[in-house]
Chain A
Amino acid sequence: MSENKQNANVPQPKLRGDMLHEQLVRLGEIEEPKPPVNRKRIAIIWLIVLVIVGGLLVAAQWRIGLIDGYVLQEIDPATQMPDGGFGPYYRLARILLIAFAGIFSIVSVIRLIAPKRRRPNRSIGGDIGIYLGMAVIALAMVFPLVFSIASSLKPLDELFRFPPKIFPQHVTFDNFADLFVTLSQSFVPFSRYLVNTVFITFVGTFGHLVIASMAAFVLAKYDFPGGKTFFSIVVTALMFSGYVTGIPNYVIMSKLHMIDTYWAIILPAFAAPIGLFLMKQFMEGLPTALIEAAHLDGAGEFRIFWSIVMPNVKPAWLTLIIFSVQNLWNTNASTVIYSEAKKTLVYALQQIQAGGIARTGQAAAVTVIVMLVPIMIFILSQSQILETMASSGLKD
């Protein structure tokens, strides 16, 4: 009875592998794997244990604090803590209880959120250790993000407080309101900056995606003279420091009459080496048989590229979009664009930030607004990545 139920939780091996496996077990070559555990049942057991332990803890506190409260309570001279009948072990017991409750609750949470179809080769102890460690590190990683959002919600007097408190005592949206007042007073309308940046980001990212992917496709899937050399030049070019190429770059752009146009930002973004490198690496994993089959069916190169290769490397180009949007959205481009009406949003916002100490609150708001769009794009594309891979089963 239970065997059927348990088997539903293990991934069913392919038929041939299954037979081989049985044979090997019979011959004594490998050990029979332990029967898998029923995760849902264990999760419920953990929860019950948690409730009992938590209840005990609360009961103990209640007994110490309330029943013994004013009548029987004695202060332990060593610890200066109420000794609620537990004697000198009171503190130890309390610490242990808290530790147990903590571990139980974390484990049961992990149990509940763990995927229903569990992968083989994963020990429960390892899972707990890894995710606990990751939770601690995640706190450190997210700190500046939380800090800058919290700062933008602080009133001025709290912003200047030293040492700074992490969370605002009185939450306010004044900083954002002030920012919009300042923006509405600028002589180039704010929407103009926004349109500029959106245009640059959109065109730059789209062009980069198409151009770099086309090049990556032929470099990854066809062997033609010069292809390998070209690719290694691209990878090598990634390593040259960007600071010193600024001047030659400016000269080239002015020769091409691109200074003070959007193209000075967009065209170099089209050819960013990182996009080609990323796409090529991902396309290498694509089965060549797929492309050959398409050839046999009479599809042209471009058709193959657009409707066969690209849909199959969706995670790659979504990642590329993240990089490109993040990069272009944050361009300030003050070296190649001079007319005020063509400047980018980040440039305008940085001007406000540079307005000195009176604009501290607005500067905090600016930081959050600049971060917001890349994060949104990021979350959107991340959820897309997960969706694709669930549906595509194509591999050879």
Chain B
Amino acid sequence: MKSTFSKYVDMKRENISYGWSKAKRMKICYLFLLPYALLFCTFFILPILTSIYYSFTYYNILEPAKFIGFQNYVNLFLQDEVFLTAVKNTLVIAVITGPIGYILSFLFAWFINELPKWLRTLAVVVFYAPSIAGNAFYIFSIIFRGDAYGYLNSILLQFGLIDAPILWLTDPNYMLKVIIIVILWMSMGTGFLSFVAGLQGVDRSMYEAGYVDGIRNRWQELYYITLPSMKPMLLFGAVMSITSAFNVCDVPRALAGYPSTDYAARTIVTHLFDYGFSRFEMGYASAIATTLFLLMILCNKAIQSMLRRIGT
């Protein structure tokens, strides 16, 4: 027992000294990393750590933060019913829009990749347009307007499918569905562009080799050749779609109102926004942010282990 332990310690020590000598040999690597690491720690790590600290305090921005331990988290999970609604809504939105948006953006990038040059540029611009146009989703408030003048209602009325206009954005039965549709419409974002760029780098000769090896249709080619060579971009896209699927905030606020009827369109981030910037309870808002952070890390771990199996 003791010998194994001392062996372990020896091994560790050896590892550390090996690591140290390696680090000394690779000095140039640290030099390359240094500017980024410095800025990153100052403007990203430090604020995040501070926010996590704030989540254990009562902090209303005006007075200095008071440490209150886990009180914020206790309130969040045991007393705040709206938060639980928000978690439920966020999960529904994320589970539907995350995977569908991810798969759609890959498929479209893949289809576009085979078009001739000028058409490909045009197609990428068209599909990426919702992300460039910024707040273009406001147009959906006209489409889904609750009275007979809304585009959708007027079409449905004309075809006699409904008798009276539907309150798409104020009826809790429809709100979440409308929001999911709008978010899917906006899902060709960062991930989509990186897929388009990544597909350009897939080795052409691999396709020909695959053809000779008996791959007979586009789907086999996708699974055995394209996806495995796209793994790094797929990982990138996955992280991007997780962040956007969980950080839904602007769309429900703009379309369903803030606060929405019966909190039916409240997401974790709108809840955070409410506490942080309407009630100025920064400590509580930080606790919400930290909870969301943990949720997303879990989700990311699960997806990464899934992506590792592709094409094997």
Contact A237 B48 (CB under 8 A): yes
CB-nearest residue of chain B to A283: B232
Contact B125 A378 (CB under 8 A): yes
Number of interface residues of B (CB under 8 A): 106
Report 27 cross-chain contacts, Cβ distance below 8 Å, ordered by A residue.
A14-B208, A113-B116, A123-B218, A134-B111, A137-B127, A140-B185, A143-B139, A145-B136, A162-B149, A218-B29, A225-B20, A235-B239, A239-B243, A241-B272, A243-B272, A243-B273, A243-B289, A244-B282, A245-B47, A252-B46, A268-B39, A281-B232, A282-B198, A315-B198, A322-B193, A389-B201, A395-B205
Interface centre among B45, B126, B205 (most CB of A within 10 A): B126
With an 8 A cutoff between CB atoms, is B253 at the interface? Answer: no
In the A-B complex, the 5 residue pairs with the smallest Cβ-Cβ separation, listed nearest first, are A144-B136, A271-B39, A215-B36, A281-B232, A248-B50
Choose the segment among B68-76, B80-88, B170-178, B293-301 that binds chain A (4+ C-beta atoms closer than 8 Å): B293-301
**Which residues of chain B come closer than 8 Å to A114, judged between CB atoms?**
116
With an 8 A cutoff between CB atoms, is A120 at the interface? Answer: yes
Interface of A is mostly: helix
Partner of A238, one of B133, B214, B239, B289: B239
**Which residues of chain A come closer than 8 Å to B150, judged between CB atoms?**
163
Contact A122 B272 (CB under 8 A): no
Contact A247 B282 (CB under 8 A): yes
With an 8 A cutoff between CB atoms, is B188 at the interface? Answer: yes
Partner of A315, one of B26, B190, B201, B286: B201
Chain A's interface size range is 35 or more
Interface residues of B (CB under 8 A from A): 19-20, 22-23, 26, 28-30, 32-33, 35-37, 39-40, 42-48, 50-51, 54, 61, 108, 111-112, 114-117, 119-121, 123-130, 132-134, 136-137, 139, 142, 149-151, 154, 185, 188, 190, 193-194, 196-198, 200-201, 203, 205, 207-218, 220-221, 229, 232-233, 235-236, 239-240, 242-243, 246-247, 269, 272-273, 276-277, 282, 285-286, 289, 292-293, 296-297, 300
Contact B233 A281 (CB under 8 A): yes
* In the bound complex, CA of A102 to CA of B148 (Å): 33
Of residues 243 through 262 on chain A, the ones whose CB sits less than 8 Å from some CB of chain B are 243-245, 247-249, 251-252, 256
**Which residues of chain A come closer than 8 Å to B45, judged between CB atoms?**
233, 237
Digitize A114-131: 1 where CB-to-B-CB distance is under 8 Å, 0 elsewhere: 110001111100100011
**Which residues of chain B come closer than 8 Å to A238, judged between CB atoms?**
239, 243
Contact B236 A278 (CB under 8 A): yes
**Which residues of chain A come closer than 8 Å to B185, judged between CB atoms?**
140-141
A-B pairs under 8 A by CB, number: 278
Contact B117 A243 (CB under 8 A): no
**Which residues of chain A come closer than 8 Å to B276, judged between CB atoms?**
243-244
Contact A121 B216 (CB under 8 A): yes
CB distance from B247 to the nearest CB of A (A): 6
Interface centre among A143, A280, A367, A383 (most CB of B within 10 A): A143
* In the bound complex, CA of A167 to CA of B185 (Å): 22
Contact A14 B28 (CB under 8 A): no
**Which residues of chain A come closer than 8 Å to B221, judged between CB atoms?**
121
Digitize A3-26: 1 where CB-to-B-CB distance is under 8 Å, 0 elsewhere: 000000001011001101100100
Interface centre among A267, A271, A280, A386 (most CB of B within 10 A): A271
